[in-house]
């Protein structure tokens, strides 16, 4: 007959939450007794000190940590709000600065047109804005927002910057197309202002990145032509009114025939950044 095995006795264990609750109740009871029973005040205080001080220190540390974290969160919130305010201020100032730069640029454009208008005050003119251009990086041809309803006609001369841009080659009721003097192989009759000698200015988009176009057939028998001399439209031009500045000689050399000279000139107009122009209302053949 086999011996009967006894089951080991299970140890009694108190769950930790109940133990914590029990200890809390004991601490509270000791605190009450220490206040209600003066005779027991001294020993109870000692016991309370041993039991409660670590508990109070723990609560104090937890409370301090929570307070620090709360302060940090408030500081972070304030920093984020300040950051948002500063971002909004930067955006506002950026918009204002961009607007200011645009207005200053437009003011400079208008000042140039006003100066140009004063220099050629003998001609009636109308201002216009460029609303489209061809696929080139340069304004070799473009469209303006004024047309026949405003009195513009084909061959009206167009100016900007400090001088000649080109002429109107097509016109509609509320628009006009302009072909500039820099258009490839577009010939313009010019005059060397210092000597009165005639020449031909030829459009060339390959030299425009340097701000220059070509001239040729200059007869300079006295060798007076020099770099920096002004070239204006000639009175023998078929389409252009006389005396409008085209540009300045930037290079000059004698041709192989030893009779004429050719070279390049720097245009009086920035053909890469045109926005506004002046259109002369009179045509060449109507000027007396």
Q: Which CA distances in Å does 174 have to 86, 115, 154, 170?
A: 47, 26, 13, 11
Secondary structure element (H or E) that encloses residue 245, with its range:
strand 245-254
Going from the C-alpha of 25 to that of each of 29, 30, 39, 44, the distances in angstroms are 6, 9, 21, 15
Per-residue b/e over 220-229, b at no fewer than 16 CB within 10 Å? beeeebeeeb
Q: Where are the alpha helices (DSSP H) in 37-189?
A: 41-119
- pTM assigned to the model: 0.64
Distance between the two ends of the chain, CA-based, in angstroms?
Answer: 149
Measured CA to CA, the distance from residue 181 to residue 165 in angstroms comes to 6
Please, is 8 exposed, middle or buried when counting C-beta atoms within 10 Å of its C-beta (0-12, 13-18, 19+)? exposed
The burial of 116, by beta-carbon neighbours within 10 Å (0-12 exposed, 13-18 middle, 19 or more buried), is given as: buried
pLDDT (tens, 9 = 90+) of the chain, 288 residues, equals: 555 555 555 555 656 556 666 767 766 766 666 555 554 455 555 655 565 566 556 666 666 677 777 778 888 888 888 888 888 888 777 777 776 666 665 666 667 777 777 888 889 999 999 999 887 778 889 999 999 999 999 999 999 988 999 999 999 999 999 999 999 889 999 999 999 999 999 998 888 888 889 999 999 988 999 999 999 999 998 899 999 999 999 999 999 998 999 999 999 999 988 989 999 999 987 554
């Amino acid at each position: 007959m086999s011996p009967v095995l006894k089951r080991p006795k299970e140890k009694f264990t108190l769950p930790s939450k109940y133990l914590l609750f029990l200890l809390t109740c004991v601490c509270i009871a000791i605190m009450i007794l220490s206040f209600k029973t003066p005779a027991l005040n001294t020993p109870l205080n000692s016991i309370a000190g041993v039991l409660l001080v670590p508990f109070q220190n723990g609560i104090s540390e937890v409370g301090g940590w929570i307070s620090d974290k709360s302060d940090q969160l408030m500081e972070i919130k304030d920093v984020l709000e300040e950051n948002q305010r500063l971002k909004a201020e930067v955006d506002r100032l950026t918009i204002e600065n961009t607007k200011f730069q645009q207005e200053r640029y437009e003011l400079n454009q208008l000042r140039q047109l006003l100066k140009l208008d004063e220099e050629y005050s003998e001609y009636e003119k109308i201002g216009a804005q460029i609303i489209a251009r061809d696929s080139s990086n340069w304004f070799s041809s473009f469209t303006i927002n004024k047309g026949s309803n405003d009195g513009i006609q084909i061959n009206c001369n167009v100016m900007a910057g400090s001088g000649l841009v080109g002429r109107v080659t097509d016109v509609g009721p509320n628009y006009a197309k302009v072909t500039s003097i820099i258009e490839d192989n577009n010939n313009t009759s010019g005059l060397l202002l210092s000597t009165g000698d005639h020449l031909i200015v030829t459009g060339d988009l390959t030299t425009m990145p340097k701000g220059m176009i070509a001239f040729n057939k200059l007869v300079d028998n006295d060798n007076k032509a020099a770099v920096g001399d002004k070239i204006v439209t000639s009175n023998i031009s078929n389409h252009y009114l006389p005396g409008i500045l085209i540009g300045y000689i930037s290079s000059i050399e004698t041709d192989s025939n030893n009779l004429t000279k050719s070279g390049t000139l720097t245009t009086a107009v920035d053909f890469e950044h045109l926005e506004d122009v002046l259109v002369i209302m009179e045509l060449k053949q109507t000027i007396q």
